[in-house]
Structure 1
Amino acid sequence: MTRHNNWYVVYTYPNSEKKIYNELNKREITAYLPTKGVVRQWSDRKKKLEVPLFPNYVFVNIPPKDMWMVLMVNGVVKFVSFNGTPAVVRDSEIDLVKRLSSKANVVSNKNFYIRGEKVQVKEGVFSGLVGKVMNKKGMTRLYVELETAHLMFSIDIEAALLKKLD
């Protein structure tokens, strides 16, 4: 009999995503914790850190019958649910997050799109990606929503790589 696994999103206690991710791996539960690099400034030094792309969330790939095993991990609060049903994240959305979180941000000083405009990336590694524009401090920032989980993330991208959608 074929075992069917789904991607789910678990909500965690603050700042415990990495600990939960490691514990899930120890228990041989497939988990994914997308991260992004940030530079943190202290009074005496700067340090580059990897922080969760979605604070308080970890993705797990399990059959529905094994959801209880995830809830037994210390720090896991609950599964993200809609109308009482745990949200299933499509494989294509997980692949998109993996693709985006593995690439460096592209920064531009061009600023000719209007905030809230729906656009599509026309070339490059993000080709085909659709989102809404958020201009910030001379950069074009594209916000992307994972529809099935209602999670949002953003990328900085050259405005020249975008095309407006109606």
Structure 2
Amino acid sequence: MTWLVVYTKPQKEQVAEHQLSNQGFNTLLPMITQRKRVRGKWQDVRGALFPRYLFIEVALGTQSIASVRSTIGVVDVLRFGQQPATVPDTVINYLRQQQAALEAGSEANAWPHKPGDRVEIFDGPFAGLQGVYKMAKNQDRAALLIELLGRQNEVVIEQQFIGQAV
């Protein structure tokens, strides 16, 4: 059995994986969760580790890959000249191990700011001020230390209103 790389249409990795699985191919679509700003709020967004690519396992001598090209969400099988690009089993096993580690929560729950980071407030009553990130109060709010009236004061601000200071 050989692992091949499939090039997909934009944002269609999961559709292509589902369709290829239905055709009997063993597939691997490594995913990653990142904390991103979506419509002004920090959210965990899950996406492909390799955008527009996924892996399928085939028996090249006995199993045809012609059906892969006409699969919904697929553009083509990645090739070098006329030969499909292959991926060693060791690489696939490594990707699976890393995927399992990420799903265990080792990095997926990281906040965009860490205690001690210099941050700037972009909106709200303290807009334009800089401070030091102290801690997350809950999913949407954070405690900051800002200089007001000659001393450090703790204020609680919505996470969406703060960003890295420049």
TM-score norm. by structure 2 comes to 0.56
Which residue, out of 3, 6, 15, partners 1:10?
Answer: 6
1:1-166 aligned within 5 A: 5-64=1-60, 65-103=63-101, 104-105=106-107
Number of residue-to-residue matches in the alignment: 103
Q: Percentage identity across aligned positions?
A: 24
Q: Which 4+ runs in 1 deviate beyond 4 A?
A: none
Q: Shift in Å at residue 83 of structure 1? A: 2.6
> Cα distance 1:92–1:43, how it changes in 2: closer, same or farther (>3 A)?
same
TM superposition score normalised by structure 1? 0.56
- Could you tell me how far apart the structure 2 residues matched to 1:23 and 1:6 are? 19
Offset from partner CA, 1:115-154 (integer Å, 9 cap, x none): xxxxxxxxxxxxxxxxxxxxxxxxxxxxxxxxxxxxxxxx
Unpaired runs of 5+ in structure 1? Answer: 108-166
How far the C-alpha of 1:44 sits from its partner, in A, is 5.0
8 Å CA contact retained: 2:15, 2:72: no
Give 1:16 shift.
0.4
Q: Root-mean-square deviation (CA), in Å? A: 2.0
Larger Rg over CA atoms = 2
